[in-house]
Structure 1
Amino acid sequence: MLTLYRPGDGPWHRLPAGPKSLVLLVIVLGVSLLPATWWCAAVAVGACVGCYAVRGAGMRDLLRQVVTVRWILLVTLAGQLVFTGPETAVANTARVGAAVVISGLLTLTTPVSELLDVLERAMRPLAWLRIDPQRAALTVAVTLSTLPVLARLEREVREAQRARGGGRSLRLFAIPFLVVALKHADALGDALTARGVR
């Protein structure tokens, strides 16, 4: 969910989108259901490293994904430390981080067109609820592809803020980030409208 597709010929790239989605779903569920212990935190991190330690992905991509979700990890850890002990806090943070980063392999190794086809097939049963599978799949695909764009915009605003001597002020960051994010949303909406999506 965090990085756009990168071409490659590794095992994750060669695996068809449908089976790959199921395999990653099983791994993410397995990591999420681990008990909150030190040992299981190590298992979650090990599963994450194992998923990326194959040709076509690699530790650089893993590090990039972890850096992207660092704020989620910090907020999760801080919130857990307030209400639970260190072991539970670290284990829960490791499970959340591993689940998010492992699921990022799907968008990292699957072209958006293939991902859209898989999502559309998976959502066909929703048609009897009067939910358009094509529109629902497009919404999910657009959301997945927008997250990395927002992460890039965040980096750009932070760099511009530092270049102007703005320090780490949240107020000085939030307003420019909101402006560029809304501009991106407008451009995305215009592009979808131009292609006949309503």
Structure 2
Amino acid sequence: MISLTSPVETRAHQWPAGLKLGLLCFVTGLLFITDHLIFHSVFLLAIVVLYALPGRAFFKSGWQHLKILWPFVLIVVLWHLWTDELQRGSIIAFRMMSTVALANLVTMTTRLSDMIDVVHFLAKPLYRSGLNGRALELAIALVIRMTPVLVSKGQNLTWAWRARSTRHSGWRIILPFTVLALDDADHVAEALRARGGLINPEK
């Protein structure tokens, strides 16, 4: 498993994780209550500038994480073009790119351990009520760490198919990809059991 935290140090790396996550929630809410195309265009441009400020390596790394978003953006734009609502589709596409890019920016500048500390603080009421908040903490950590791993393995399967066939892979890699995902899940489950499982540390 790998971390999405960027090795390129920025000023945002020094900000508290709770502050960054709080700002992310606030700005995301602001984006969803605003329906002005110019605002969303300028806001997305500002995010591109934020990615570019730390340098080329940081920008390239951020772009690699966001490439998976483009098929969804294309679908949204084409659908609203078909329904003659291009402006509305553009707003939705800009909003989608901005929110995901901001979330990715927070992830790139925040250590996973700091995020888990914030989740642990927010999950304290669960511990007090006798519920197992550790499961929530581990679930968030696994999603953050395993998502890029699965994306990378899907790309490797696609490249392997292209090396052996002139046809587009499409649905043909779904089964091997599912087997790989299940195999990874099995290994993670074994590792968790070897380390005590999901025992509530607060008990």
Q: Does 1:51 align with 2:35?
A: no
TM-score (norm 1): 0.85
Residue of structure 2 equivalent to 1:39? 38
* Residue 90 (str. 1) matches residue 90 (str. 2): yes
Say which one has the larger Rg: 2
Do the aligned partners of 1:28 and 1:103 also contact (CA within 8 Å) in 2?
Answer: no
Structure 2 unmatched ranges of 5 or more: 199-203
1:157 deviates by 0.9
Cα 1:116–1:187 change in 2 (3 A) is: same
8 Å Cα contact 2:37-2:87 kept in structure 1: yes
SS at 2:149's partner residue?
helix
Contact 2:157 / 2:177 at 8 angstroms: preserved in 1? yes
Who is 1:16 aligned against?
Answer: 16
Q: How many residues align?
A: 195
**In the TM superposition, what are the counterparts of 1:3-152 in structure 2 within 5 Å?**
4-35=4-35, 37-55=36-54, 58-81=58-81, 85-127=85-127, 130-152=130-152
1:89-120 Cα distance to aligned partner (Å, 9 max, x none): 11101101210121012221222111111111
Decide which moves more: 48-57 or 38-47: 48-57
Report sequence identity in percent: 26
Q: Which residue of 1 aligns with 2:201?
A: none
- Contact 1:32/1:96 (8 A) holds in 2: no
> Which segment is superposed worse, 92-101 or 14-23?
14-23
- 1:33 CA drift (Å): 2.8
One-letter code aligned to 1:46: L
> What is the alpha-carbon distance in structure 2 between the residues aligned to residue 185 and residue 79 of structure 1?
35
Matched residue, 2:163: 163
RMSD over aligned CA atoms reads 2.4
Asked if the contact 2:40–2:94 (Cα under 8 Å) also holds between the matched residues in 1, the reply is yes
Between the aligned partners of 1:80 and 1:123, the Cα distance in structure 2 is 40
Q: Which residue of 2 aligns with 1:180?
A: 180
Q: CA 1:180 to 1:78, structure 2 compared with 1: closer, same or farther past 3 Å?
A: farther
Amino acid at match of 1:53: A
